[in-house]
Amino acid sequence: SFGAAVLVKHKENQKIYILKEVNISHLGKKEKDECINEVDNLQNLQHPNIVSNRESFVENEQIYIIMNYTDGEDLFQRIQKQKGQFIPEDEILNYFVQICLAIKHIHDRKILHRDIKLQNIFLTSKNIVKLGNFGISHIQNSTIEMSKTSIGNPYYLSPEICKENKYSFKSDIWALGCVLYDLVALKRAFEAKILKGEYAPITGGEYSSALINLISRMLRLNPKQRPTIDEILHSPIIQNKINSFLSDFNELQMKELKQKEKLQPEKEQQMKEKSKEEMKKKKEKRKNQEKKKLLIEKSLSRKNKKS
């Protein structure tokens, strides 16, 4: 099957990985080249918020890709756990910023994901977001900006794809807007109204107007009116969250530094004691060597006298 994935365990280190199998036997030469090209693309996608692949190989008309395994849940499972209770805005922004950083990484390399959805966004046990399943991602060269290939989850497909019109990276932005809507509303933005771009308004006052406005900007019917990933990352609400990340990181660094400073006197004392002990051992060793030398000299002296 195209894009099938299973969990595998390394025989030596016992680590769990994802083995993705892509059957290319039924594809034409152009499609096969695209699949093989996909493998090459994955080798270059190294980012803290992207599920990276370990290695890949082609065998018997099959492409095998071994990817790192995330030890947490996906965002779809995360939403299901809520049971109708809203997710705090700060937590949503925590996830969203990390997703945006992953998308920026691929867009900067002219790569479309084309299957951004809750089930392809994973959480580690430390709440680090990992964007995965680049099985149908497509690299675009500088001369071909647009693509007509209609691939992806129907609930996240942009209006231009549904109409089989040309689209570019703004389709990923649409899907990203759908994901953010899902996290806020705990339900899909679209069921059968994608062509009109109509979605149920978010009510209840649980979230800031800045967050609601960001969703509406990403879900604009005209792709040209949607923001780029850089524009999203530079929006005030996202910048505030990024600054909060940096502040938390700096605070953590300060704590670690203070802990090191606190432990420094103890380490210095331990080093001094260790140095004294080593000096003592060296002295004893020299003393023993001198005794041994003296005994040898005495023994030789006795032998000479007897002779």
- Separation between Cα atoms, residue 4 and residue 10, nearest integer Å: 19
pLDDT in tens, 198-255: 666 776 678 999 999 999 999 999 999 999 999 999 999 999 999 887 877 666 666 6
Q: What is the dihedral of CA 179, 166, 38, 71, to 10 degrees?
A: 0
CATH number at residue 18: 3.30.200.20
Is residue 70 classed as helix, strand or coil in its secondary structure? coil
> What distance in Å separates the CA atoms of residue 13 and residue 9, rounded to the nearest whole number?
8
What CATH number corresponds to the domain at position 155?
1.10.510.10
Which of the pair, 250 or 303, is modelled with greater confidence? 250
Highest mean pLDDT among 36-40, 150-154, 158-162, 174-178: 174-178
Judge if pTM exceeds 0.75: no
Residue 101 lies in a domain: yes
Residues 108, 168 within the same domain: yes
| CA diameter of the chain | 117
Q: CA-CA distance, 190 to 192, in Å (whole number)? A: 6
189 and 58 belong to one structural domain? no
Residue 266 belongs to some domain of the structure: no
Question: Residue 274, CB half-sphere, CA atoms under 13 Å: how many?
Answer: 6
Are residues 54 and 34 both part of a single domain? yes
Q: What is the mean pLDDT of residues 271-298?
A: 76
The domain boundary residue, chosen from 20, 51, 69: 69
Asked whether residue 189 falls in the same domain as residue 91, the answer is: yes
Residue 22's domain comprises 1-69
The predicted model gives 180-191 an average pLDDT of 88
How many other C-beta atoms are found inside a 10 Å radius of the C-beta of residue 171?
A: 23
Stretch 285-291: mean pLDDT, rounded?
77
Number of domains within the chain: 2
> 3-state secondary structure string, 14-61?
CCEEEEEEEECCCCCHHHHHHHHHHHHHHHHCCCCCECCEEEEEEECC
In this structure, the answer to whether residues 46 and 84 fall within a common structural domain is: no
83/210 same-domain check? yes
Q: Please give the backbone phi and psi of residue 70, each rounded to the nearest 5 degrees, phi first.
A: -90, 135
Q: Identify the three-state secondary structure at position 7.
A: strand
Q: Are residues 39 and 181 in the same domain?
A: no
Is residue 85 in some structural domain? yes
Q: Does 168 lie in the same domain as 41?
A: no
Nearest to 110 by CA among 29, 33, 45: 45
Quick check: is 24 in a domain?
A: yes
Q: Does 40 participate in catalysis according to the annotation? A: no
Residue after which a domain boundary falls, among 43, 69, 95: 69
User: Is 113 inside a domain boundary?
Assistant: yes
Catalytic residue among 40, 90, 115, 248: 115
Percent pLDDT > 90 in the chain is: 32
The contacts found for 278-284 with CB under 8 angstroms, 24 or more apart, are none
State the Cα–Cα distance between residues 242 and 188, nearest whole angstrom: 27
- Kind plus residue range of the DSSP H or E element containing 256: helix 236-306
Query: Do 205 and 113 have their domain in common?
Result: yes
Q: Which residues pair with 78 in a beta bridge?
A: none
45 and 90 in a single domain? The answer is no
CA distance 170 to 296: 89
- Check pLDDT > 70 for residue 192: no
- Left (φ > 0), alpha (ψ -120 to 50) or beta: where does 3 sit? left
pLDDT digits (tens, 9 = 90+) for 4-13: 778 888 888 8
114/205 same-domain check:
yes
Would residue 49 count as lying in a domain?
yes
- Per the CB < 8 A criterion, the answer to whether 34 and 24 are in contact is no
| Domain-ending residue, one of 234, 254, 273 | 234
Domain match, 36 and 2 both: yes
pLDDT, residue 29, reads 82
- 56 within a domain of the structure (yes/no): yes
Decide if 261 is inside a domain. Answer: no
Top-ranked range on mean pLDDT: pick from 180-184, 289-293, 299-303: 180-184
